[in-house]
């Protein structure tokens, strides 16, 4: 289990600053009333959009020796049954190096405006007192957080996006000066940070359920064997520099083109972003907006229906399919016969990747 960072002096100082800055806007978008989600599909695919919020029940069977955490890794027993915390993290070049990625149990990467991506860092058995920069929410975030429960920290969202979170049943924590604080060494909007212990306390104060999330995938000590070598994986998200992951024999190291993607903690210690395995969920990209046309349109990716999936672990790749009927369902990754793909327990980076973009490996 990761241990939380200890920065009481820093938190005390920035808490006062946060109270003064908590009303700062995260993005230069117009807040509008949400009526209904309208979309424009930009690429053909087998995925379908879901507009219902019917709650589904998913039963997860754990393999012997696999722990009931979101990534299958062991933890102290009293941490198994607590909620997961999601934190939206900026990935603008001015936001790097980010903080908290090194402590996260899992991370989603999702496309936003301008060809950039942002991250949803998930903390179940782990915590971090210094996570950020924190940024605003998007429609795809609601679809990813809905089956996990817990609490989701964002800096803000347009009114119609907030309504999507409500309809999806996602408990959202906004920039409130209680769970968030600003760092003076960076310029807004890349200077808002948060603390997962503070988010947990806030969720308790709101009376939100403190229940264990389901595992993100099916884990086992005998994972589905990879079928092809994949030690260098290159993601062409947009016209920005490609993202490259390199297998070093133990884990995958992240690069922005050839530059190591680094993290930094509150004590200025740093390192390269690294994870045990990568999962790719390909879906069709569309433009989400309020039905009235007011406010700002944003990119989104369909995550219901089915689509191509890729699982990278141990220096290899297995090609599969993802599927789920509703945003309340946990994503299934299955082989050609419809059997669950078994992942090794480990910290997992999940790419929600537009299926018209290029992804290569060697």
Label residue 248 exposed, middle or buried (CB < 10 Å: 0-12, 13-18, 19+).
exposed
User: Is 102 within a domain?
Assistant: yes
- Token pair listed for 230: 């994949």
Domain range spanning residue 251? 8-21+36-53+63-70+79-361
Q: Does the structure show a pLDDT above 50 at 337?
A: yes
Instruction: Identify the pLDDT of residue 250.
Output: 98
Domain count of the fold of the chain: 1
Instruction: Identify the pLDDT of residue 67.
Output: 84
Instruction: Identify the pLDDT of residue 52.
Output: 36
Residue 64 banded pLDDT, cuts 50, 70, 90? low
Residue 112 banded pLDDT, cuts 50, 70, 90? very high
DSSP 130-188: -BB-B----HHHHHHHGGG-SEEE-S---HHHHHHHHHHT--EE---SSSEEE-TTS-T
User: Is 134 within a domain?
Assistant: yes
Taking only the tens place, the pLDDT of each residue in 257-266 is: 999 999 999 9
Instruction: Identify the pLDDT of residue 120.
Output: 99
- Residue the block writes with tokens 């087998």: 46
Instruction: Identify the pLDDT of residue 292.
Output: 81
Label residue 345 exposed, middle or buried (CB < 10 Å: 0-12, 13-18, 19+).
buried
Residue 65 banded pLDDT, cuts 50, 70, 90? low
- Token pair listed for 101: 């990625």
Instruction: Identify the pLDDT of residue 18.
Output: 36
Question: Using CA atoms, how far apart are residues 169 and 180, in angstroms rounded to an integer?
Answer: 22
Range 196-204 average pLDDT: 99
Instruction: Identify the pLDDT of residue 68.
Output: 86
Range 198-206 average pLDDT: 98
Q: Which has the minimum average pLDDT: 51-55, 120-124, 150-154, 185-189?
A: 51-55
Higher model confidence: residue 293 or residue 214? 214
Buried b vs exposed e over 145-175: b needs ≥16 C-beta within 10 Å? bbbbbbbbbbbbbbebbbbbbebbebbbbbb
User: Is 190 within a domain?
Assistant: yes
Residue 16 banded pLDDT, cuts 50, 70, 90? very low
CA angle 245, 99, 142 (to 5 degrees): 80
Q: What is the mean pLDDT of the chain?
A: 86
Instruction: Identify the pLDDT of residue 21.
Output: 35
Q: Does the structure show a pLDDT above 60 at 69?
A: yes
Taking only the tens place, the pLDDT of each residue in 136-167 is: 999 999 999 999 999 999 999 999 999 999 99
User: Is 242 within a domain?
Assistant: yes
Contact criterion met (CB below 8 Å) for 342 and 99: no
Characterize the bridge pairing of strands 277-283 and 348-354. Answer: parallel
- Residue the block writes with tokens 């969920």: 281
29 three-state secondary structure: coil
DSSP 232-260: EEEEE-SSSPPEEEEE-SSSEEEEETTEE
Residue 196's Cβ-side half-sphere holds a number of Cα atoms within 13 Å equal to: 29
User: Is 315 within a domain?
Assistant: yes
User: Is 291 within a domain?
Assistant: yes
Range 260-288 average pLDDT: 98
Instruction: Identify the pLDDT of residue 355.
Output: 97
Q: Does the structure show a pLDDT above 80 at 230?
A: yes
Question: Using CA atoms, how far apart are residues 264 and 253, in angstroms rounded to an integer?
Answer: 15
Range 317-323 average pLDDT: 99
User: Is 2 within a domain?
Assistant: no
Label residue 324 exposed, middle or buried (CB < 10 Å: 0-12, 13-18, 19+).
buried
Q: Does the structure show a pLDDT above 90 at 24?
A: no
Q: Does the structure show a pLDDT above 70 at 44?
A: no
- Cα-Cα-Cα-Cα torsion 76, 151, 211, 196, nearest 10 degrees, comes to 20
Q: Does the structure show a pLDDT above 90 at 62?
A: no
CATH code of the domain covering residue 92 = 3.50.90.10
User: Is 306 within a domain?
Assistant: yes
Question: Using CA atoms, how far apart are residues 164 and 37, in angstroms rounded to an integer?
Answer: 8
Instruction: Identify the pLDDT of residue 291.
Output: 82
Instruction: Identify the pLDDT of residue 184.
Output: 94
Which residues share a beta bridge with 305? 324
């Amino acid at each position: 289990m990761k241990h939380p960072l200890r920065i009481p002096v820093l938190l005390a100082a920035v808490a006062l600053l946060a109270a003064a800055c908590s009303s700062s806007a995260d993005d230069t978008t117009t807040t509008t009333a949400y009526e209904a989600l309208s979309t424009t599909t930009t690429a053909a695919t087998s995925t379908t959009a879901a507009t219902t919020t019917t709650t589904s029940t998913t039963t997860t069977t754990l393999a012997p020796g696999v722990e009931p955490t979101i990534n299958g890794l062991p933890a102290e027993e009293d941490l198994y049954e607590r909620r997961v915390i999601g934190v939206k993290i900026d990935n603008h070049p001015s936001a790097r190096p980010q903080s908290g990625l090194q402590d996260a149990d899992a991370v989603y990467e999702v496309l936003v405006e301008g060809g950039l991506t942002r991250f949803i860092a998930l903390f179940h058995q782990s915590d971090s007192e210094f996570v950020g920069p924190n940024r605003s929410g998007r429609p795809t975030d609601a679809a990813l957080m809905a089956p996990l429960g817990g609490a989701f920290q964002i800096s803000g969202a347009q009114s119609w996006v907030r309504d999507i979170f409500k309809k999806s049943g996602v408990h959202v924590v906004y920039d409130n000066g209680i769970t968030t604080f600003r760092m003076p060494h960076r310029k807004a909007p890349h200077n808002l940070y948060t603390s997962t212990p503070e988010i947990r306390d806030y969720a308790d104060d709101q009376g939100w359920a403190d229940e264990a999330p389901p595992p993100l995938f099916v884990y086992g000590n005998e994972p589905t064997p990879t079928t092809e070598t994949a030690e260098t994986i290159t993601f062409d998200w947009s016209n920005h520099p490609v993202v490259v992951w390199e297998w070093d024999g133990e884990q995958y190291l992240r690069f922005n083109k050839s530059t190591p993607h680094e993290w930094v903690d509150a004590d200025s210690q740093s390192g390269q972003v690294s994870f045990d395995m990568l999962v790719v969920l390909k879906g069709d990209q569309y433009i989400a907006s309020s039905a009235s046309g007011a406010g700002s349109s944003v990119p989104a990716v369909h995550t219901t229906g089915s689509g191509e999936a890729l699982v990278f672990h141990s220096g290899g790749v297995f090609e599969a399919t993802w599927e789920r009927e509703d945003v309340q369902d946990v994503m299934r990754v299955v082989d050609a016969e419809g059997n669950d793909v078994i992942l090794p327990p480990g910290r997992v980076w999940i790419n929600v990747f537009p299926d018209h973009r290029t992804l290569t490996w060697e």
